[in-house]
């Protein structure tokens, strides 16, 4: 079962635009709104200092899926968000206690979201298996 041990750290961006650009902020707000609407998904925003700008810089989302079904819904949400604009990109790091960290980047241009979905599914499958330690 996916639980508090599994964390998705998500960074969203739009190619060619600064993180403080209104279009990026609107796209981020849209994604946050969609994420908060998913039952069983805990969503936290975290500011990341940006070396290229003043202020808080980029925001990351920390997503904590409560069940495998929620994790699959999150992967589908990533795909839908990317498909809205070819300039959109997403970086996701999947962290799970005692497991290897998985990082995947996908963009609307290449729609390599399948790699992200495979990584999420791989993490979920590993979680079902007992530790070899």
All structural domains of the chain, each given as residue ranges with its CATH number in brackets, are 6-128 (3.30.70)
Joined together, the tokens standing for residue 100 give: 């290897």
Joined together, the tokens standing for residue 119 give: 């990584």
Joined together, the tokens standing for residue 90 give: 């997403």
What's the confidence (pLDDT) of residue 2? 46
pLDDT along the chain (133 residues), means of 10: 68 88 90 92 75 48 83 84 86 82 76 64 63 51
What's the confidence (pLDDT) of residue 45? 87
What's the confidence (pLDDT) of residue 48? 55
| Burial class (CB within 10 angstroms; exposed 0-12, middle 13-18, buried 19+) of 95 | middle
How many other CB atoms sit within 10 Å of the CB of residue 10? 23
Confidence (pTM): 0.72
What are φ and ψ of residue 101, in 5° steps? -75, 135
């Amino acid at each position: 079962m996916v639980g508090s041990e599994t964390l998705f750290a998500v960074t969203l961006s739009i190619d060619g635009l600064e993180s403080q650009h209104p279009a990026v902020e609107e796209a981020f707000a849209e994604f946050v709104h969609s994420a908060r609407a998913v039952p069983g998904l805990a969503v936290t925003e975290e500011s990341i200092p940006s070396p290229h700008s003043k202020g808080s810089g980029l925001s990351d989302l920390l997503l904590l899926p409560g069940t495998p079904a929620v994790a699959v819904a999150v992967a589908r949400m990533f795909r839908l968000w990317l498909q809205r604009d070819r300039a959109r990109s997403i970086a996701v790091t999947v962290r799970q206690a005692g497991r290897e960290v998985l990082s995947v980047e996908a963009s609307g241009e290449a729609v390599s979201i399948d790699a992200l979905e495979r990584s999420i599914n791989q993490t979920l499958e590993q979680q079902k298996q007992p530790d070899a330690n």
